[in-house]
Amino acid sequence: LGLVLKALFNTANPWLIGLLAATMLAVAGYEIMARQRHRLRGLWGYGTGTLSMFLSSFSITTLALMVLLQPAPWYNPQYAIPLLGMLLGNTMTGIAVALDNLTRQTLDKAGQIEARLALGQDASQAIGDIQRDALRSGLIPIVNAMTTAGIVSLPGMMTGQILAGSPPMEAAKYQLMILFLIAAGTGLGSMAAVLLGSKRLFDVRSRLRRDRLSG
């Protein structure tokens, strides 16, 4: 592993970087699935969180590298790997919480959802309040972190830069950028996960499919 990381950071090989990024995504996707009490059956249980995280973390990381940081090359592992790791780690938490909240409330309120469907509401209307609550729960960790950053706690990146000798204001600027990127990634990922999960919970005739959930 040490030799691989050394080769990765010394040569900036895009294939090695892609392989490492894919491995990070695969492990994070499994962790999302493992954190849910009632997960979707089949490949959906793994794919929903993994796809949502790919769409959010990879797009936000690419945007940050190409527009904000602009290293040469843009996939420079010194910037790409730490940034992707921070985004994956925080987005993973938000998506896992949002999906767990979505599936758990769907089972708990199945009778209420089916009553709404019987009264003529479509699937999105019947599960709308659960979707909003799931999305809110997924955003709570990053919102709390942003609210208290610099007052209650010093985030890890800012602390590391200060200990390494960087000026505190410069460290704070980088930390703010990271927090905003994480917030955008978590919001996008949680929204994608909730929408994908909700779609799977109903069939084409807007019937609630509790059999698609395990547990």
Q: Can you say whether the dihedral through the CA atoms of 45, 46, 52, 55 is positive or negative?
A: negative
Amino acid identity at 170: E
If one compares 151 and 208, the residue with the highest pLDDT of the two is: 208
Coil, strand, or helix at residue 24? Answer: helix
pLDDT over 90 at 204, yes or no: no
Rounded mean pLDDT of 170-183? 80
Task: Out of 45-49, 72-76, 115-119, pick the least confident.
Answer: 72-76
Name the average pLDDT for the chain.
84
Which positions ≥6 away from 126 have C-beta within 8 Å?
Answer: 113, 114, 116, 117, 206, 208
The H helix count followed by the E strand count for the chain is 10, 0
Confidence of residue 76 (pLDDT cuts 50, 70, 90): confident
For 135-163, how does the pLDDT look when each residue is reduced to its tens digit (9 = 90+)? 999 888 888 877 766 665 556 666 666 66
User: What is the distance between the alpha carbons of residues 152 and 118, in angstroms, rounded to a whole number?
Assistant: 49
User: What is the distance between the alpha carbons of residues 147 and 67, in angstroms, rounded to a whole number?
Assistant: 26
pLDDT over 90 at 35, yes or no: no
pLDDT of residue 150: 61
**pTM recorded for the entire structure:** 0.84
User: What is the distance between the alpha carbons of residues 57 and 49, in angstroms, rounded to a whole number?
Assistant: 12
Confidence of residue 193 (pLDDT cuts 50, 70, 90): very high
Question: DSSP state, 65?
Answer: I
Residue 64 token pair: 């940050």
Confidence of residue 134 (pLDDT cuts 50, 70, 90): very high
Residue 13 token pair: 């090989």
If one compares 34 and 155, the residue with the highest pLDDT of the two is: 34
Cβ–Cβ under 8 Å, residues 213 and 103: yes
How many residues are present in the chain? 215
